Amino acid sequence: MRITGLDHIVITTANIDKCIAFYAGVLGLRHELKNGKHAFYFGVQKINIHCRPAEFLPAAQHPTYGSQDICLLADDDICTIKAEIEAKGYPIEEGVVARHGALGVMQSIYLRDADGNLVEIAVYEKNSK
């Protein structure tokens, strides 16, 4: 077996409206509702949203609001991204800071979604990839 990538993750939210406001409104991900299931699309990945723990089975054994820590990659200047988020009135938890990702050095900012999940937005330095 050879794992080649990440298709999707699942986040459980306590408030779907606030979840949509963050991922679609603040981060600009495309929101879709199909067959009663919410998802946010970006690149070739997606984030599935459960509106209650174990909404669809199988599911994580102990889904908990605010327990996720995810890193989303962007291809704009990190300072521009930070300014865009701040212009929307959304607080930045930390950053801009240097971090080490799967492909090398990146510049990151951190913020929290409405459920308290930690969301890192990172941009790889040009010579890292």
Neighbouring C-beta atoms of residue 77, cutoff 10 Å = 12
Instruction: Please state, in angstroms and rounded to a whole number, the distance separating the CA atoms of residues 122 and 76.
Output: 9
> Any catalytic annotation for residue 120?
yes
Q: Which of 64, 66, 56 is nearest to 34 (CA)?
A: 56
Q: Are 123 and 74 in contact (CB under 8 A)?
A: yes
Q: Which of 86, 93, 120, 125 is catalytic?
A: 120
Catalytic residue set: 120
